[in-house]
Chains A and B, each alone.
Chain A
Amino acid sequence: MTDGRSLALWGQVAAHAAAHGQRPSVEDVCAVAVSSAQLGGGWVVAARGGDPDFVMCVTDPVSEQLAEVQLMLGEGPCHDVLASAGPVLASDLGDAESVRRWPAFTAAAGQLGAAAVFAFPLIVGAIRAGVLGLYRGAPGPLPGRQLGDLLILADAATVMLLGSAYGDAEDGDGVAVDGQAPDLALHRAEIDQATGMLTVQLGVPAAEAFARLRAYAYSQDRRLADVAGDIVARRLRLGRNPGQDGGP
């Protein structure tokens, strides 16, 4: 049901990158998120050790300040999403619930002209890559279709962050996004099970195991879900070095 929508969104990301003569990056995802959901701006914060850590990209000066002020205060929707592992949709920062939850952040956001903040965790299960934050100058909820689009874009940003963190160290652009939509059949149990299995086979953290799984599927020109299925069925093992991958 989602394939058409994710391909359409990916087309927008690729077009945005091409217009700047670059390969798609989280900056392009961020820009498409802002335009597709008609928001004021957005930012991506990378996480290390489970907490938001440093600002990767921003679309405008207000977003930059919204991102920085949360890091400085240690408070705000971007902190909460990594703890709850679900999005935080603060559609009215002036309401009592938001003010009670983030007293310092809501005051700062108000001065910056942000009336609504939507934060999406960039996570795959236990793997925490970062946070996608977005703001709007006017309060109000996100329509359902926009929420779905932003979740799809958050998946793409997650894959890109994890790919750039681990893939480049290995063989240049094995996991880097390759002009195709990131395989958004992410939500299949076998992919998550295979990631867990690879942490043991490869002796690496889950984020790296996930990146290696994607890199292998890409290098073999196979669907991620199919490769994961082979690993779960124990028809395929990956070696500690990428050259050693093969049968059981």
Chain B
Amino acid sequence: MDTDLLSDTFVELADTMVADFDVIDFLHLLTDRSIRLLAASAAGVMLADPRGELRVAAASSEEAGLLELFQLQNDQGPCLECFRTGRPVTASDLAGMAPRWPRFAQAAARAGFATVEALPMRLRDQVIGALNLFRTEPGPFEAADLRIAQALADVATIGLLHERNVRRRDTVAEQLQAALNSRVVIEQAKGKLAERLSIDMDRAFSMLRDYARAANLRLTDVARDFVDGASPDFPPPVRRQPGR
């Protein structure tokens, strides 16, 4: 365990009251650090939509097989079970997964994963989503690692919902919907950039994120301006000031 990285991560996840806070960038931080700290191969965050659907908010890779694994979990899988029960769900080998979630087990095998862990993201009595960890080797995650993963998920949940503002259940719904729409904006921007430059979605995401960081802009704002703008070029050309 890299303890410096661990403490940095807690500080970063707690630091959400900043002007340029971006929810999708924030959840990507959670997935990136979960992989590096916890010997996971992939990670993702699913959030519960009040329509009754679990939706991918962030994934450590845009690889299609991984995204399919998340989407599938609206029907079956550890994430859905974790969301429904509010408890962590472990599946540490494919043979154990198959009887409980046959389609999920097949998709996990295709994507090359043997171990899956789903950890609830809870605010008091309400489960708002789950952090999913995947590993290519069979066998459970270390108990100590899982305690850390749950702590990361807890800190992220509070950060995500701007705890100080959340007094009512209504506000949670308002903020979750806004977060989920941010993800849609980013997918649209990825598509536009991928088409323009003939690159894959993973690369398009990295370009958007790197540009936002370098320019000190919110990722969602960068993505929205790009999708809204008439120009297909990225970074968008600097607009001439009228009258000059």
Contacts and interface: CB of A to CB of B under 8 A. Distances in A.
A2 interface: yes
B66 to A, nearest CB: 11
A132 to B, nearest CB: 13
B187 A189 contact: yes
Contact of A91 (B170, B188, B196, B230): B170
B244 interface: no
A124 B183 CA distance: 10
Interface residues of B, number: 45
B229 to A, nearest CB: 10
Contacts of B67: 189
Nearest to A88: B174
Given A86-B175, A126-B228, A187-B53, A192 B182 contact: no
A88 B223 CA distance: 23
Contacts of B55: 187
Nearest to B191: A196
Nearest to B182: A85
Contacts of B180: 187
Contact of B181 (A123, A142, A206): A123
A148 B181 contact: no
Interface in B170-217: 170-171, 173-182, 184-196, 201
A125 B188 contact: yes
A125 B185 CA distance: 4
Interface string B53-71: 1011000000000010001
B102 interface: no
Given A2-B53, A141-B170, A232-B201, A193 B187 contact: yes
Interface in A104-129: 121, 123-127
B196 A200 contact: yes
Given A85-B181, A125-B181, A189-B67, A197 B52 contact: no
Of B180, B184, B223, most buried by chain A (CB within 10 Å of CB) is B184
Of A6, A123, A193, A198, most buried by chain B (CB within 10 Å of CB) is A193
8 contacts: A1-B53, A1-B75, A5-B51, A87-B174, A121-B181, A189-B67, A196-B195, A199-B191
Given A86-B174, A200-B195, 19 more contacts: A1-B53, A1-B74, A1-B75, A2-B51, A5-B52, A84-B178, A85-B178, A85-B181, A85-B182, A125-B188, A141-B170, A142-B170, A192-B191, A194-B191, A196-B190, A197-B191, A199-B195, A201-B195, A206-B228
Nearest to B70: A189
A21 interface: no
Contacts of B230: 205
Given A85-B178, A147-B173, A148-B51, A124 B194 contact: no
Contacts of A6: 51
Contacts of B174: 84, 86-89
A125 B50 contact: no
A88 B51 CA distance: 16
A102 B184 CA distance: 29
Contacts of A91: 168, 170
Nearest to A146: B50
A151 interface: yes
A194 B182 CA distance: 16
Interface in A184-216: 187-189, 192-201, 205-206
A6 B50 CA distance: 13
B152 interface: no
Contacts of B169: 141, 144
Interface in A132-164: 141-142, 144, 147-148, 151-152
Of B51, B177, B184, B192, most buried by chain A (CB within 10 Å of CB) is B51
Contacts of A192: 184, 187-188, 191
A89 B53 CA distance: 20
A123 B201 CA distance: 23
Contacts of B74: 1
Interface string A55-92: 00000000000000000000000000000111111010
B31 to A, nearest CB: 15
A197 B170 contact: no
B224 interface: yes
A128 to B, nearest CB: 9
A151 B201 CA distance: 28
Nearest to A5: B52
A87 B191 contact: no
A126 B189 CA distance: 9
